[in-house]
Amino acid sequence: MKLFALIFSTVLLFVCLGLVPVTTAQAGMIGTDEAIATQQQSGDRDRIDAFLSQSEVQEQMRAMGVDAATARTRAQALTNEEAAQLAQKMNAAPAGGNISSTDFIIILLVIILVAILL
């Protein structure tokens, strides 16, 4: 009986080892450009998602009749190139308006003039 159990367990062990899938691991060097591109892609998507999460943006989307969840889903469906272009446009857009140096000087002169008159 012990001999049968020993043979059975040995055969069962070999069958189990034979069923284990044999996979090979491949390792390789990745270039700096690839690593930076991957980080940049995730950063672009995070920046877009953070922008869409702002309450002011969601209010403006509601005013325009756009659902915030739909906009977020569509933003996640963008290709990497489209996400990069959108992130660049977001960075290039002025946050509070564009004021030139001459406009600034005129405003400053008006403030000084009002302060002198009062």
pTM: 0.50
Quote the pLDDT of residue 104: 75
Quote the pLDDT of residue 95: 61
Residue type, 19: L
Q: Give the count of beta carbons closer than 10 Å to the beta carbon of residue 46.
A: 11
Domain ranges across the chain: 34-92
93/57 Cα distance (integer angstroms) = 14
87/43 Cα distance (integer angstroms) = 9
Residue with tokens 């892609």: 41
Per-residue pLDDT of the chain (118 residues), as tens digits, is: 788 888 988 888 888 777 777 777 777 888 888 877 777 778 888 888 888 888 888 888 888 888 888 888 888 888 888 888 888 887 776 665 667 778 778 888 878 877 787 7
Residue with tokens 């920046």: 47
Quote the pLDDT of residue 94: 60
Produce one character per residue of 50-89: b if its CB has 16 or more CB atoms within 10 Å, e if not.
eebeeeeebeebeeeeeeeeebbeebeebeeeebbebbee
